[in-house]
């Protein structure tokens, strides 16, 4: 991308004015009277955001019973992309298994609630206030969760504590919920820059948060796998030599 230079002008000894490239203005749909958002970036840069393109208020998903995994993935994807209203429809009756699978997924998506339900349709609404969700705090929460899960997964084996291992596995659901909420809030801030400014984050921070969250969530998964595998093989007691290695 070529660097574009503009001369800065000053009006009446007050504000500085700089013109925007017409090609960029046309591409993002700027018109006379349009508002743009600005935020200070790193190294004293100034970032200019075009008017945010609002999502359609509602996303509709048509269930495909021949590929339920794809349908469930569409539900998660719609949540992560920031839709507040999601309608799940079927050409016929939603069978009990699919309905239970849908509700299991919904339970993992923070703030998503069923507001209307029929034999062939489920209407969902996300009741979270995005301005009250800070990605920094979510990432800190994930870090503390993963740290505790790693410690407890090892400690449960050393002390042959099945209940502690089961708690590690249960905490993986909490980790997933926090990760999904982190991704949704990061995407929201990227789509609507005013939230990034409110969070005190730069665009590069948002990308780092997404990557960091994915890695931390993976640590939680591995900790849960350790506990699950240990329980699956009968929760054997580790000999002293093995304890020293762990």
Q: Are residues 42 and 111 in the same domain?
A: no
Among 14-18, 51-55, 240-244, where is mean pLDDT lowest? 240-244
Q: What is the mean pLDDT of residues 81-91?
A: 90
Asked if 80 and 96 sit in the same domain, the reply is: yes
Helix/strand/coil (H/E/C) assignment for every residue in 5-38: CCCCEECCCCCEECCCCHHHHHHHCCCCCCCCEE
Q: Which residue has the tokens 């969700």?
A: 133
Average pLDDT rounded to a whole number, residues 183-204? 83
pLDDT value at residue 53: 65
What's the domain count of the chain? 3
pLDDT, residue 189, reads 85
Q: Is there a domain that residue 205 lies in?
A: yes
Structure confidence by residue, pLDDT tens digits, 25-67:
888 888 888 888 777 776 777 878 787 666 556 788 888 777 8
| Residue 243: per-residue pLDDT | 54
Give the range of the structural domain holding residue 235, as residue numbers without chain letter.
Answer: 133-245
- In terms of Cα–Cα distance, which of 242, 217, 219 is closest to 152? 219
**Rounded distance, CA 213 to CA 179, Å?**
6
User: Above 70 in pLDDT, residue 164?
Assistant: yes
Phi-psi region of 129 (alpha: psi -120 to 50; beta: other; left: phi over 0): beta
Single pTM value for the model: 0.79
Please check whether residues 141 and 232 belong to one and the same domain.
Answer: yes
Are residues 138 and 85 part of one domain? no
- Is 80 domain-assigned? yes
- Greater pLDDT, 34 or 181: 181
Least confident of 102-106, 162-166, 194-198: 194-198
In percent, how much of the chain has pLDDT > 70?
Answer: 93
What's the pLDDT at 240?
Answer: 60
Of the two residues 52 and 127, the one the predictor is more confident about is 127
pLDDT in tens, 199-211: 888 777 888 999 9
Higher pLDDT pick, 139 / 1: 139
Query: Quick check: is 4 in a domain?
Result: no
Phi, psi of 138, deg, nearest 5: -65, -40
Residues 28 and 74 in one domain: no
Residue-level pLDDT at 241: 55
Q: Domain boundary at 126, 146, 181, which?
A: 126
Domain membership flag for residue 1: no
Domain assignment present for residue 77? The answer is yes
Let me know if 100 is exposed, middle or buried by CB neighbors in 10 A (0-12, 13-18, 19+). Answer: exposed
- Report the CATH number at residue 90: 3.30.110.60
């Amino acid at each position: 991308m070529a660097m574009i230079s503009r001369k800065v002008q000053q009006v009446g000894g007050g504000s500085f004015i700089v013109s925007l490239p017409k090609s960029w203005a046309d591409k993002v749909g700027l018109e006379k009277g349009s508002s743009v958002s600005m935020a200070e970036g790193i190294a004293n840069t100034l970032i200019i955001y075009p008017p945010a393109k609002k999502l359609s208020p509602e996303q509709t998903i048509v269930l495909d019973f021949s590929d339920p995994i794809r349908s469930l993935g569409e539900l998660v994807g719609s949540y992560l992309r920031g839709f507040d209203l999601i309608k799940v429809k079927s050409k016929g009756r939603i069978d009990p298994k699919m309905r239970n699978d849908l509700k299991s997924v919904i339970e993992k998506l923070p703030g998503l609630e069923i507001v209307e339900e029929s034999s062939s349709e489920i209407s969902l609404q996300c009741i979270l206030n995005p301005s009250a969700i800070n990605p920094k705090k979510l990432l800190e929460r994930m870090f503390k969760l993963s740290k505790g899960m790693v410690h407890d997964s090892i400690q449960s084996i050393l002390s042959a504590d099945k209940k502690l291992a089961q708690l590690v596995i249960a905490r993986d659901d909490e980790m997933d919920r926090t990760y999904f909420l982190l991704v949704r809030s990061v995407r929201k801030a990227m789509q609507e820059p005013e939230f990034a400014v409110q969070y005190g984050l730069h665009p590069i921070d948002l990308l780092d948060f997404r990557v960091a969250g994915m890695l931390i969530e993976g640590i939680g998964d591995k900790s849960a796998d350790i506990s699950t595998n240990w329980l699956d093989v009968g929760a054997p007691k580790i000999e002293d030599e093995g304890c020293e290695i762990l």
